[in-house]
Chains A and B, each alone.
Chain A
């Protein structure tokens, strides 16, 4: 009951009150500073005041969450930021999974791949999961109620995965199989995060789409199908290094393919100038249609019409 009253007071009154006090206090302080003549003391006071405000902010967050605040946690101020941070980790885990999980590789025959996969699970995926867990717990108040169930599902998965990893050898020795079926990686959690990232990226993707359409038209590039795929659709634009583009063209002969290739290199340079990122293009000619269709069917992509 007392906690509830405190929460109510905090959310409705105190939270606003301390901001108003700080705001007005800082205003009065600045006016007084302007009257002062000693620059060093003025600057020092500003730095100290900033540090004080940050301390109050962190204490405020700590008290509000009613738990220990990890000092090495990244500063997160919004739900979008939280999703961006989680997405970066999920992306790394997913890449490692896709490239190394032995059960995804039809050519895998030996114990070596399985041992390598177990090592990656222990040294990269599980520690990454713990980072996600910390992010969720440190920023639980930022998650809207409608999405909380999926975050809880992810937490359950992380705990279960950790159990499997830590006890794998003992369980195998005793011939016990750990029932993990209810807590497998929640795909719907991943979809939720990706959806959030898409919303943030949408404006940027539109700008890129417009640029590609215009520059292809201007440079007479023969492209019957153009797709954006890769990290731009899965990650936050600020951290991606390049934009992946897939092109299917009706050209077939060597001369035309080389000509198209040169034009595309020119567009790539223009793109780098404008967006400060690399444009990575994969160009499929008419005779490579089957491989193109096969490749595009495996990708999360966006067609540029």
Chain B
């Protein structure tokens, strides 16, 4: 967790949390040091996981590498504006019910503001 963009991404996440959201636990994924947060919400919304990643490009291969850790309704959080995602990876994840996005999407997902 020493990379500056990691710290910024986590700081942003902590900033948008309110009293309805609880971080139940988080795990560190081996090799990449990515974080998997398990979130619960008090306002009758489902629990879900957020995978924090700092990979420059999310390709379909990268998605498959970590998709076993995720299930329908989970979210892959790209922590920096510089990060890209291929259309193939986005659609594959979407078919599995998993969304991939940046900070602006994270906030919407967390509070289901659509």
Q: Which residues of A contact B (CB under 8 A)?
A: 99, 105, 107, 254, 257-258, 260-261, 265, 282-285, 287-288, 291, 295
Question: What chain A residues lie within 8 Å of B86 (beta carbons)?
Answer: 284, 288, 291
A282 to B60, CA, bound (A): 10
Q: Pick the residue among B59, B64, B65, B87 that contacts A254 (CB under 8 A).
A: B64
**CB-CB under 8 A for A285 and B59, given A261-B65, A291-B87:** yes
A287 to B92, CA, bound (A): 12
Question: Of all chain A residues, which has the CB nearest B89?
Answer: A288
For the complex with contacts A283-B62, A291-B84, 18 further pairs of A-B residues with Cβ separation under 8 Å are A99-B80, A99-B82, A107-B81, A258-B64, A260-B61, A261-B64, A284-B57, A284-B61, A285-B60, A285-B88, A287-B60, A287-B88, A288-B86, A288-B87, A288-B89, A291-B59, A291-B86, A295-B84
Chain B interface size band reads: 10 to 19
A258 to B61, CA, bound (A): 7
6 contacts between A and B (CB under 8 A): A105-B81, A261-B64, A261-B65, A283-B59, A285-B61, A291-B87
The reply to whether A283 and B61 contact each other, CB–CB distance below 8 Å, is: yes
The reply to whether B84 and A257 contact each other, CB–CB distance below 8 Å, is: no
Q: Which residues of B contact A (CB under 8 A)?
A: 31, 55-57, 59-62, 64-65, 80-82, 84, 86-89
A288 to B61, CA, bound (A): 10
A287 to B87, CA, bound (A): 9
Interface centre among B59, B80, B89 (most CB of A within 10 A): B59
What secondary structure prevails in chain A residues at the interface with B?
helix
Question: Of all chain A residues, which has the CB nearest B64?
Answer: A258
Question: Of all chain A residues, which has the CB nearest B56?
Answer: A282
Question: What chain B residues lie within 8 Å of A291 (beta carbons)?
Answer: 57, 59, 84, 86-87
Min distance, Cβ A260 to any Cβ of chain B, angstroms: 7
Question: What chain A residues lie within 8 Å of B61 (beta carbons)?
Answer: 257, 260-261, 283-285
A90 to B26, CA, bound (A): 37
Q: Pick the residue among B55, B59, B64 that contacts A284 (CB under 8 A).
A: B59
**CB-CB under 8 A for A288 and B62, given A99-B82, A282-B56, A282-B57:** no
